[in-house]
Structure 1
């Protein structure tokens, strides 16, 4: 998306900061631009006429407003503190903002049972859309990639034709959350389905075309997939409460994959200290701590694993 227009004395430096970060591989989205624009407005309200930022101004900027959630405050400080670090390196007299604690979440993702998975995909395979006839052939593939490969929805909808290797059964994920290109491997059954899907659609695509498209030939949106997901839950007779704010999320398929994959590795005799880093890299996490929640979910669902690795768990979680 296009950048907003910045109007404060910092405007040019904000643009240079964004150029610097994007050249380093960081992809900025609407929330990031929103927070930087809010900072730009703050500079104007403070009447700043030169590139400087005092301790009092830093304290004021760090405070949470009445209509701001703790999570939004965290995101706002997290993105803008990097801008002040950038200015500091450039030699400007700016006070650095200290980190604030990440807001704790009691949210627990839904891990689908084998019975629910069977019911869901039976409903999905028979789903008929009145909006787009392509849904009939592309949605069964799209959702199975998320379940079988643990991909994020934002990664899955942006798979290009050139990213799919039908000979080796490997999919390259180029547009990822942490800008870390990675590869996922399709199972034999998923590869067979992908080849069938390719026979029906790839002939009309060039290498840089998305394989999952809308009626406008753009990649299908994450919001559209989410809307269809909730319809499928209803058709399948799966209760849609008790997970996210709006019910069971599309992202829960990724959690389901992670839990089942981790359990499979442990059941096959893999050491926990080996399995966890492997899963972390495969999922494209920034570090191993981002994968801890999957370990917690796995051991809570399968108590025998918790008993087996109780000592190891204490060490990992530093209890």
Structure 2
């Protein structure tokens, strides 16, 4: 069973990140390890970086074989390039970690000598051998292509680096009744409003947290989403019921900088705390499904489609760059399926 281990710095502490298949058995086993924690922001389980844990995961090679100076310089230059191109913090982190992983595999080879055959070898001997996901492989490809496109002396032909065939996974969707139970679960108006805004506007978690009071336009009945994914602004329709809820919330909390602030005035609401708000709502609503905040966004899009909203409008509201991304919701909509009569009923 494939397990990937990385050394990371999390909350200014050295930690050992452990990536493994998401099964209940493995999660329960990992929870019992001393100091094991789940990072909602990094989406990974991690342990303290101590000798006992290094020994447990055979980390000696990783710890005592850091990148050579040439590759460390390459990583610094790549990071600076991404910063000047104004990539988001999360994208920079993903790309840099992916390139580090690739470089570490060819640590004894000069960057200029790494070629397309090496890329294939890395895919075969590391990614496939360790049964790593196609999404992780795709991140590696993105990082490699972007890095080698920015340097002059290279044996890599960027155009010939291929991508893995991705899995076609359907989005997770809740019924309207399930959504109602979740949104009605909290009596705390702040918690209730946050979850309701995510669903009613189809927002990503980060988009909710980055909202400011001035982004709510009650006159035009819209919410302005600023510099979201892809650094694009967009507008989404504002429900009259949500506007009333927001006004009630505002009277109680009077947020200054951010619409939903943390415990300290002027700070954003913490992403992990928001995930906890959903978790508590699920417990109160007695819903056992492994619902995440993104499920609410998927559910919103699917429910819009089932109510007859044109896909082009849904694409604009969700902020999808490609219509193909939005079309996936046609595969989970049950409106047409419910009209199909099974021949079993006629037996």
In structure 2, the gaps of 5 or more residues are 1-9, 12-65, 342-347
Residue 145 (structure 1) aligned with residue 197 (structure 2): yes
Q: Equivalents in 2 of 1:22, 1:282: separation in Å?
A: 28
| Residue 123 of structure 1: how far off its partner (Å) | 1.4
Q: TM-score, normalised by structure 1?
A: 0.73
Task: Report the counterpart of residue 170 of structure 1 in structure 2.
Answer: 222
Would the alpha carbon gap of residues 276 and 107 (structure 1) be closer, same or farther in structure 2, given more than 3 Å must change?
Answer: closer
Would the alpha carbon gap of residues 235 and 303 (structure 1) be closer, same or farther in structure 2, given more than 3 Å must change?
Answer: same
Q: Equivalents in 1 of 2:109, 2:294: separation in Å?
A: 44
RMSD (Å), alpha carbons: 3.0
Q: Equivalents in 2 of 1:81, 1:279: separation in Å?
A: 32
| Residue 260 of structure 1: how far off its partner (Å) | 1.4
Would the alpha carbon gap of residues 162 and 108 (structure 1) be closer, same or farther in structure 2, given more than 3 Å must change?
Answer: closer
Would the alpha carbon gap of residues 62 and 116 (structure 1) be closer, same or farther in structure 2, given more than 3 Å must change?
Answer: closer
Q: TM-score, normalised by structure 2?
A: 0.68
Task: Report the counterpart of residue 287 of structure 1 in structure 2.
Answer: 322
Task: Report the counterpart of residue 100 of structure 2 in structure 1.
Answer: 37
Greater strand share, structure number: 2
Choose between structure 1 and 2 for higher RCO, CA contacts under 8 A separated by at least 6 residues: 1
Q: Equivalents in 1 of 2:161, 2:274: separation in Å?
A: 38
Residue 184 (structure 1) aligned with residue 236 (structure 2): yes
Q: Equivalents in 1 of 2:317, 2:340: separation in Å?
A: 23
Q: Equivalents in 1 of 2:69, 2:340: separation in Å?
A: 55
Is the CA contact (8 Å cut-off) linking 1:262 and 1:295 kept in structure 2? yes
Q: Equivalents in 2 of 1:26, 1:254: separation in Å?
A: 24
Match of 1:118 among 180, 202, 206: 180
Task: Report the counterpart of residue 310 of structure 1 in structure 2.
Answer: none
Is the CA contact (8 Å cut-off) linking 1:17 and 1:83 kept in structure 2? yes
Is the CA contact (8 Å cut-off) linking 1:178 and 1:285 kept in structure 2? no
Task: Report the counterpart of residue 251 of structure 2 in structure 1.
Answer: 199
Is the CA contact (8 Å cut-off) linking 2:170 and 2:331 kept in structure 1? no
In structure 1, the gaps of 5 or more residues are 127-135, 242-246, 267-274, 308-319
Match of 1:79 among 116, 121, 143: 143
Pairs aligned (count): 271
Task: Report the counterpart of residue 69 of structure 1 in structure 2.
Answer: 132
Alignment of 1:1-319 (within 5 A): 8-29=69-90, 30-43=93-106, 45-48=107-110, 51-63=112-124, 64-65=126-127, 66-67=129-130, 69-70=132-133, 71-87=135-151, 90=152, 92-96=154-158, 98-113=161-176, 115-124=177-186, 126=187, 136-202=188-254, 205=256, 209-217=257-265, 218-238=267-287, 240-241=288-289, 247-265=290-308, 275-298=310-333, 300-303=334-337
